Amino acid sequence: MQGVVVLFGIKLPKIGWVGFFKSCKIEGIPKNVTVKRNGKYWHCSIQTELEVKEPKTKATREIGIDLGISAFAVRSDNKRIDYPKNVFKKFEIKLAKEQRKLSKKKRFSSNFNKQKPRINSS
């Protein structure tokens, strides 16, 4: 069933049944539902209570991690972990393009009001 999207429903107080797309299996007892609006889209997150067994670790050695300025982290066995490079670069480029488009539009026009949420969601 790969690639099949299944529509489910959730009953919310004062609203009634609302449809949603389940992106992963809901495990445990549902305790809390948060409904949030992001631009013109609505998102639903479900908080569940699930008892997790303690993992049996086979580790016999401990290591320490030093967070620093010259390197992201240095382990006690002298292995350096560098900062991730260009993580936000593609998002910064997209935001800059959308802001340039917005600057060309007449303030509070129909097209301005359509462009503004694109910037807020990027």
Which residues make Cβ contacts (< 8 Å) with residue 93, sequence separation at least 6? Answer: none
pLDDT digits (tens, 9 = 90+) for 87-120: 678 888 999 999 999 999 999 999 999 999 999 8
Q: What is the pLDDT of residue 112?
A: 96
pTM: 0.40
CA 15 to chain CA centroid, Å, is 26
Which residues have a Cβ under 8 Å from the Cβ of 90 and sit 6 or more positions away?
none
pLDDT tens per residue, range 12-22: 788 777 777 77
For the CA atoms of the chain, what is the radius of gyration? 23
